[in-house]
Structure 1
Amino acid sequence: MEQTVKELLYDAIYYDESLVAHAVYYAVQKGIVHLDEPASRIPKELDYTEIFKMRDENYLQMCTIKLFTIPLEPKRHALYLAETEDAARAKHHKIYGQLAQRIIDISHRMDYPLFYEETGLSKTFRELKREAVKFPYYAGEVLGR
Structure 2
Amino acid sequence: MNAPTMKTELMDAIKYDEPFRAHAIYYAIQQGYVQIDDPYNGLPADMDYDAIKKMQHANILQMCTVKIFTIPFGQGMHAIYLANCENDARAKHFTLYRQHAQRIQNASRRMDVSLYCEETGTHEVIRETKRRAAEFPWYVGVVGW
Q: Sort the TM-score into its range (normalised by shorter chain).
A: over 0.9
Of 1-10 and 56-65, deviating more is 1-10
* Structure-to-structure mapping, 1:1-145, within 5 angstroms: 1-40=2-41, 42-144=43-145
> Secondary structure in 2 aligned to 1:40?
coil
Query: Counterpart of 1:46 in structure 2: which amino acid?
Result: M
Of 53-62 and 115-124, deviating more is 115-124
Which stretches in structure 1 are left out of the alignment for 5+ residues? Answer: none
In structure 1, how many angstroms separate the alpha carbons of the residues matched to 2:53 and 2:82?
25
Deviation at 1:4, TM superposition (A): 1.2
Count of aligned pairs: 144
Query: Counterpart of 1:16 in structure 2: which amino acid?
Result: D
Which stretches in structure 2 are left out of the alignment for 5+ residues? Answer: none
Question: Once the two structures are superposed, what CA deviation does each residue of 1:33-76 show, in whole Å capped at 9, x if it has no partner?
Answer: 01111221521221111111111011000000001111011211
In structure 2, how many angstroms separate the alpha carbons of the residues matched to 1:119 and 1:58?
35
Tell me the TM-score normalised to structure 1 length.
0.95
> Secondary structure in 2 aligned to 1:87?
helix
In structure 2, how many angstroms separate the alpha carbons of the residues matched to 1:38 and 1:124?
30
Deviation at 1:16, TM superposition (A): 0.6
> Secondary structure in 2 aligned to 1:39?
coil
In structure 2, how many angstroms separate the alpha carbons of the residues matched to 1:127 and 1:45?
34
In structure 2, how many angstroms separate the alpha carbons of the residues matched to 1:26 and 1:130?
26
> Identity rate of aligned residues, in percent?
51
Question: Once the two structures are superposed, what CA deviation does each residue of 1:101-131 show, in whole Å capped at 9, x if it has no partner?
Answer: 1111111111111111222011111111111
Tell me the TM-score normalised to structure 2 length.
0.95
RMSD of Structure 2 on Structure 1 (CA): 1.1
In structure 1, how many angstroms separate the alpha carbons of the residues matched to 2:20 and 2:106?
19
